[in-house]
Structure 1
Amino acid sequence: MPSTQAAPARQQLSRRAAVLLAAGHDAASHDVLTQPLGDSTVVQRALETLTQVVDRDRTVVVVAQGDTRVRELLGPDLTYVEQTGAEGTGPAALAARGALPGDADVVLVAYGDTPLLRSESLLGLLTRHALKDADLTFLTAVLAEPRPAYDRVVRSDGRVTAIVSAGSEPAAGETEDGHEINVGAYVAAPAFLFEVLDELVAAGADRLTDLAHRTIADGRRVETYQIYDTDEVHGINSPAELQDAADILLKRLFMPKKNTDTTIHFGTGGWRAVIGEGYTLANVRRLSQAIANETTRQGLESRGVVVGGDRRFLSEESKIAAAEVFAGNNIPVTLLPDDVPTPLVTFAAPYLGAAYGIIVTSSHNPPEWNGIKVFRADGSLPLDDETDRYQDEANAMSVDDVITLDLDLARAAGVVVDRTLTDPYIDAIEKIVDVEAVRGTDLQVVVDPMYGTSQLTLGTILGDMRVRAEFIHAQHNPLFGGIAPAPDLQRLSALIEMIRSGGGRYALGMATDGDSDRIGIVDETGEYITTNDLLLLLYWYLHEVRGEKGGVVRNLATTHLLDRLAAHFGEESREVKVGFKHVTAGMEEIGAVLGGESSGGLTIRGWILGKDGIFACALVVEMLARTGKRISELREMVYAITGRLYTLEAGVPSTPEMRVAVPRRLEAEPLTHVGPYPVVSVSHLDGTKILLENDNWALLRFSGTEPVLRMFVEADSPEKAEELLEWLKGFVTAGV
């Protein structure tokens, strides 16, 4: 039997109505309503917020007599009334009386020149009015300093006892403890609202605030809803206020949204979100449906998809949810059992001839995150225009738009087939990496999978090489030991200590991140080797020892020593944006032998079109075996060719204020020097990269996968690198 408890709430929602006051009290204030703000206008944004809590067809817009511009902006489907005769917000609201729906039991009155109110605030206002059974409820805010344009609220024992006009002397009982103001949005029953307004307007009162005065004086129940984000308290009456509003809107674009934003957003490495907020099984299904729709539109259903997952919380359930959606859309699924590395799925798509490869992972993000990476038929990451299509279509879906088929039925029908692809993946690596060259070298290594997915595949390859490998942190732990599984210096202390205390028996320490597409290296002395140096060594090795001629591709946050080495070889080097899809695209364009990024990802020509930490580890072992040298020896040999540059990087939380202020300051203050060092040029390929003399540079870039502002520098000396990084930090924080 269906429940009836929710029916009154739904009925109450349907009986809301709204009035948007968009006439303006004079020509100047009317003009403000139509000014651009972000990608729309002031009045359009006010209406957009309002219609998130009240249906558009139950909203009345009050416009100036003879107005056409506001009507053009808001569209012909709304109900409009003209304010004639007396000016003021009271007569304006009263003008809407006859146009409101007859069944309305509550009316929300809002202003067209306050576009920064949030829908959550209006919803809070409506909800509080209903729960308190109030006669009148209005929005308030407490400010650190008074604002002359806003009336003040006076309370006694928590109840509103007066509203004092802006600029008036303090009222009885008013204190200096805080500055609570009337923001200017009201909720009341229509009969009460218009009855009182009728009397007030007839008596010559012209403001909605007079409605509040009368309600308080009559001893009626007056309630308030307080907003805490004072950015919402922002009426627009001047160009300066309009610019401030534009800054606030821009800041909001980057504001982490907790309980209301459950939309899917792709970054440079797929979709990632916090579990229980953006990352939900419902979103997994919606995104899978969008990709299934694209597969069907392209006529690729018969090629099927391959679906896998890593060791994170909800990965197993998520890959099953995805498989059920593809099966429900008549798209065959190869479902990879257990947990698998991301590069295995990258390999599996072209190996199986699948339309797409899907893996549930959020790579090196902290344990509370999960996500999905999507690979095209050739194993490459889709470009931005493709991922935009996936996310936009998914976000536009409701749960009812998703088609699923129960996994047991799908397996019974053969539309979902469980298949292990570990052996083909390992075999493919061993066709490229010289396994025989390593055998007999008696290498001993330590491997830290960081509780991730590389133990089986990398362990098998090292075993086939007859390398004695000791694994640490190999057990299944979805909390990753309480840290983000990123193979960087700060998180590899156990690996470093094991090498240093090993008495010289270990030739190498290797680490892979949570989904095994990134690599970290520690040399025989226990020194952490940056990926910048590792890329340099591997490029030299591939070109000079393996004889694989060709250029190199790096992202813009990766060492320029690669360019120097390429120039020494007479080969081309290419700089691309952050995101491995740009690296592989650049490799194809110039026929590069190696592509990589300083964050730990690399691949070589002839291997998959994606990062592969497992393959990289095997290649490093081969390099040691074939050269007969340790990492420290190889570094010194290559430095003799390229010289030295020193890199540093740092990250700070990218506050919304920073997202606005930093680009604006870079535009307003063209850089001529970084400290005492002259600027050669500035690149805006991806973020802002400041190029100095002698391949020195500094980079500011907001991450596409995390709420972080990243800073990178490369300089002639460690001291200069530190100096450049400190300058960047000072620039970022100045004025924010």
Structure 2
Amino acid sequence: MNYMGRYYAWLHDPLLDEDLRRELLAIRQDDQEIKNRFYDDIDFGTAGLRGEIGAGSMLMNTYNIKLASEALSRVLLENRQAVQGVVIACDSRHRSQDFAREAALVFCGNGIPVYLFSEITPVPILSYAIRHLNCAAGITVTASHNPPQYNGYKAYAAYGGQLPPADCAAVLSYMRRLSSLADVAYMTEEAALRTGRLHYVGKDILASYYKEALQGILSPEAIQQNADLPIAYTPLFGAGNHPVRELLKQAGFHNVKVVKEQERPNGDFPGLKAPNPEEDDALRLVIRDAKKQGAALALATDPDSDRLAIAIPQNGEYHKLTGNQAACLLLYYRLSRMKELGLLPKNGLILRSIVSTSLADRIAAGFGLAVTEVLTGFRYVSQQIDLHAEKGIPLVFAFEESYGYLCVDLSRDKDAVSSALYLCEAACYYRSQGKSLMDVMTEIYETYGYQEERADTLPFPGPDGLHEMAAIMAQAREELPEAIAGKRVLAVRDYQASVRATGGVQEPLAYPKSNVVFYELEGGSWACLRPSGTEPKLKVYASAAGATQEEAHALLDAILLDRKDWISK
């Protein structure tokens, strides 16, 4: 079906929401706008659905939410998992609560019990709830840190991690077979409550999560001695506001100040280009307040509270740590304390993505542990946690460079809520020793060497964007550079072909296939190309090793400036 056929199929569907019908009628004379909205059907990938909110087959709306929920319902029924039920949450974005409710009523219409959070809820707590309630699946309505016009629909499996690729493919297959909303089972909220299929949840699950998170504290006496530690925090208008502050309060912290302008949920995210803690702009107000308060650290969580950024004082200003630096700080602290307490497991599991810092490998080796690399995307982390848990191998730490950390096996997704607690705990522990967190970062570098990373993002908007990215990735595979920024290319990993090529010799890579090209450079540096899994963007990663911080920084700049020699854009 072409774009105009899709447009009229939607417009004439008698079950279409009237607000969507009005939006479609308003563009009936605009052929280009119709094409932009209907040039294809939205894809259900490993990150579920994501797109701009609006009427159209490529956009986020109740029509596509219902199709996805019907498709997932059929997968659960086919796999005989439906009786376990589904737990659903959402963040503070526009239409999030509407989308979550509509999804719930489709599952209920299929006879599947639904546990729906009555308030906006962080992703890690949704992930925790899946295992806590023994559900077959979980859904969270969120677009993470994307701009305000976006929303999404992320699906989780019974083990608490994101839905595996095979199940995502099954959902997409069912979605493509649904011709209209008449194919969707649906139940009114009144009927769902009356029949006992819909259950509103919240407080009990949060209480259980807090209890288990508090058990992950390694230095309770340090928190008790430093309960007045000044902490500045912003939820960036998202779901983290209450859970982060409540968990810190229960741990004993009583000097936590929240940024008032960003405290209440607001899907417009006023004053921000995007509610992304990776961006310096997102921390502007919390750093302002941290200076006034004299805070030991400033924290920011994104709207669904899976990502956490931290800024710490240095020479009268606040220095924002990268995701890699914060991860190394957490890893170093927790390994040190586990060793001191005799709690360090001999075979503990430490995980990082292939584009995260290899400094973590050297830290882990210093404590007799090895780091396992996984592909980018926290679902690969959660799969490994689950596989190793079955073998009795405990999680010690997991992270991604994009500000996602997991310190305990509580959630099976990035957890900004508990990570905020453990960072504050680390600050207390080192404060008792007369050290700042910046002192500890310096200690880490001096012990394990300097490594600096950065990622640039190249946008490819519009219908031709995907084709342009594909051409660049093809070129990266065909025209291999001999050197980047003067550093010899030692090996090239092509995760799509599952091979590592070095010196004319190819060896297999034991990873799932992924559209990633990775250049290993001499001296421990590297560069990497990877299309985003959720947006029409190409990610360019680089990591530079150096004898000093200045040397590492200069090499990092050179690698990224030199990219014209190894990519065409």
Q: In structure 1, what residue type is equivalent to 2:302?
A: D
Structure 1 residue 286 displacement after superposition: 0.9
1:576 aligns to what? 374
Q: Aligned pair 1:260/2:260, yes or no? A: no
1:532 aligns with 2:324: yes
The corresponding residue for 1:20 is: none
Quick one: structure 1 residues 676 and 379, their matched pair in 2 at CA, closer, same or farther if it must change by over 3 Å?
Answer: same
**Which amino acid letter does the alignment assign opposite residue 255 of structure 2?**
R
Q: Which amino acid aligns with 1:476?
A: P
**Are 1:624 and 2:434 an aligned pair?**
no
Among 296, 310, 320, the alignment partner of 2:77 is 296
The one of 575, 580, 586 equivalent to 2:384 is: 586
Q: Distance in 1 between matches of 2:47 and 2:212?
A: 24
In structure 1, what residue type is equivalent to 2:91? D
1:393 aligns with 2:179: no
**Mapping 1:227-626, distance limit 5 Å:** 258-261=36-39, 263-276=41-54, 277=56, 278-397=59-178, 398-420=180-202, 421-433=205-217, 436-437=220-221, 438-441=223-226, 442-464=228-250, 465-472=252-259, 473-481=262-270, 482-490=272-280, 491-502=282-293, 505-525=294-314, 526-547=318-339, 548-549=344-345, 550-587=348-385, 588-589=387-388, 591-626=394-429
Per-residue displacement from partner, 1:48-88 (whole Å, max 9, x unpaired)?
xxxx47xxxxxxxxxxxxxxxxxxxxxxxxxxxxxxxxxxx
1:730 positional shift = 5.3
Bigger relative contact order, structure 1 or 2 (CA pairs below 8 A, ≥6 apart)? 2
| Matches of 1:542 and 1:387, distance apart in 2 | 35
Structural mapping, 1:652-663, within 5 Å: 652-654=458-460, 655-656=465-466, 658-663=468-473
Deviation at residue 604 of structure 1 after TM alignment: 2.8
Contact 2:46/2:163 (<8 A) preserved: no
Q: Which residue of 2 aligns with 1:173?
A: none
Question: Displacement, 1:431?
Answer: 2.3
- CA deviation after TM superposition for structure 1 residue 513, in Å: 0.7
Structure 1 SS opposite 2:450: coil
Contact 1:265 1:271 in 2 (8 A): yes
Residue deviations 1:691-729 (CA, integer Å, cap 9, x gap): 101210011111011111111111122111001001125
CA distance in 2 between partners of 1:733 and 1:475 (Å): 44
Instruction: Please report how far the alpha carbon of residue 329 of structure 1 lies from its aligned counterpart in structure 2 after TM superposition.
Output: 0.9
Q: 1:704 is aligned with what amino acid? A: G
1:606 is displaced (CA, Å) by 2.7
The offset of 1:669, in angstroms, is 1.6
- State the Cα deviation string for residues 83-108 of structure 1 (Å, max 9, x = none): xxxxxxxxxxxxxxxxxxxxxxxxxx
**In the superposition, relative to structure 1, how do residues 492 and 519 fare at CA in structure 2: closer, same or farther (>3 Å)?**
same
Structure 1 residues 351 and 408, CA, compared in 2 at 3 Å: closer, same or farther?
same
Query: What is the correspondence of 1:698-713 to structure 2 with a 5 Å cutoff?
Result: 698-713=527-542
Q: Paired residue for 2:20?
A: none
The whole-number CA distance in structure 1 between the counterparts of 2:258 and 2:35 is 39
Change (3 A) 1:406 1:532: same
CA distance in 2, matches of 1:541, 1:257: 53
* Maintained 8 Å contact 1:523/1:631: yes
1:694 is aligned to 2:557? no
Deviation of residue 498 (structure 1)? 2.7
- Write the deviation string for residues 210-269 of structure 1: whole angstroms up to 9, x where unpaired: xxxxxxxxxxxxxxxxx99xxxxxxxxxxxxxxxxxxxxxxxxxxx97221462324453
Change (3 A) 1:456 1:729: farther
Give me the identity figure in percent.
26
**Mapped partners of 1:471, 1:694: distance in 2:** 43
* CA 617–703 in structure 1, closer or farther in 2 if over 3 Å, else same: same
AA matched with 1:706: E
DSSP-derived class of the 1:307 partner:
strand
CA contact (8 A) 1:448 1:510 kept: yes
Contact kept in structure 1, 2:86 and 2:113, CA below 8 Å: yes
- Give a deviation string over 1:289-319, Cα, whole Å, max 9, x none: 1111122122222211111111111111111
For residues 600 and 534 of structure 1, the distance between their equivalents in structure 2, rounded to whole angstroms, comes to 8
SS where residue 258 of structure 1 aligns? helix
Secondary structure in structure 2 of the residue aligned to 1:516: coil
1:334 and 1:426 map into 2 onto residues whose CA distance is 19
Per-residue CA shift, 1:448-486, capped at 9, x if unaligned? 111111111111111122331111111121111242211
Query: Which of residues 690, 714, 733 is equivalent to 2:543?
Result: 714
Give the CA RMSD over aligned residues: 2.3
Give yes or no for contact 1:551–1:592 (8 Å, CA) kept in 2.
Answer: yes
Shift of 1:551: 4.3
Return 5+ residue gaps in structure 2 as ranges.
9-30, 496-513, 547-551
| Rg comparison, structure with higher value | 1
Structure 1: gaps of 5 or more residues: 1-51, 54-118, 125-226, 229-255
1:682 partnered with 2:463? no
Quick check: 1:290–1:390 contact (8 Å CA) kept in 2? yes
Matched to 2:542, the amino acid is V
How far apart are residue 657 of structure 1 and its match? 5.2
Q: Structure 1 residue 664: deviation in Å?
A: 2.8
Following TM superposition, by how much is the alpha carbon of 1:447 offset from its aligned partner in structure 2, in angstroms? 0.5
With 541-550 and 679-688 compared, the bigger mean Cα shift is at: 541-550
Give the match's secondary structure for 2:313: coil
Give the AA of the match of 1:497. R
Q: Alpha carbons of 1:558 and 1:337: their partners in 2 closer, same or farther (altered >3 Å)?
A: same
1:477-528 Cα deviation digits (max 9, x unpaired) = 11112422111242212222333344xx211111111100111011133100
Determine the C-alpha separation between the residues in 1 that align with 2:351 and 2:46: 17
